[in-house]
């Protein structure tokens, strides 16, 4: 079994979608997008487990890996899931980098944010 997509092309397609392309335009920065995802997950689970932004993204990586495993069982690579998995890993990197910025909250619980140094309004 082989994929029709070049590994470099898959990585580039994923980068284009997440970094400055269609997904960034639709959903915004992954840190902001997955902050909302984790808040929704918290509400759905009655806050029994508060995901971090990074854990919310890793959940999506797990979804794509499960789909890739199924496609491998069928001996046909599902190329869209491959590109998506790479894209989610890029989102993880982007969200982690943003989380390290001084103007990012240390923790977000529900709608409460705990800041290193609360940004001042200009």
pLDDT, position 67: 87
pLDDT, position 119: 47
pTM for the model: 0.63
In this structure, are residues 43 and 85 in contact, taking their beta carbons and an 8 Å threshold? no
- Rounded to 10°, the helix 79-99/53-73 angle is 160
In this structure, are residues 18 and 94 in contact, taking their beta carbons and an 8 Å threshold? yes
Total Cβ atoms within 10 A of residue 90: 19
Cα 43 to Cα 110: distance, rounded to the nearest angstrom: 8
pLDDT truncated to tens, each residue of the chain (122 aa)? 555 666 567 777 777 776 666 777 777 888 888 888 888 888 888 877 778 888 889 999 999 899 888 888 888 877 888 888 888 888 888 888 876 654 555 554 444 454 444 445 54
In this structure, are residues 77 and 67 in contact, taking their beta carbons and an 8 Å threshold? no
- Which H/E stretch holds residue 17? helix 7-19
Residue 32: both structure tokens together:
């902001």
Residue 120's alpha-carbon distances to 6, 74, 103, 115, 117, in angstroms, are 47, 55, 10, 11, 9
**Domain coordinates of the chain in residue numbers?**
7-112
Would you give the DSSP letter of residue 119? P
């Amino acid at each position: 079994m082989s994929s029709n997509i070049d590994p470099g092309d898959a990585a580039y397609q994923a980068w284009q979608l997440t970094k400055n392309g269609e997904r960034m335009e639709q959903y915004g920065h992954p840190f902001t997008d997955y902050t909302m995802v984790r808040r929704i997950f918290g509400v759905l689970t009655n806050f029994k487990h508060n995901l971090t932004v990074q854990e919310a993204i890793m959940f999506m990586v797990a979804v794509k890996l499960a789909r890739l495993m199924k496609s491998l069982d069928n001996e046909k690579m599902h190329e869209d899931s491959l590109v998506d998995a790479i894209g989610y890993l890029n989102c993880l990197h982007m969200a982690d980098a943003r989380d390290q910025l001084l103007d990012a909250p240390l923790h977000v619980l529900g709608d409460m944010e705990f800041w290193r140094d609360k940004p001042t309004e200009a």
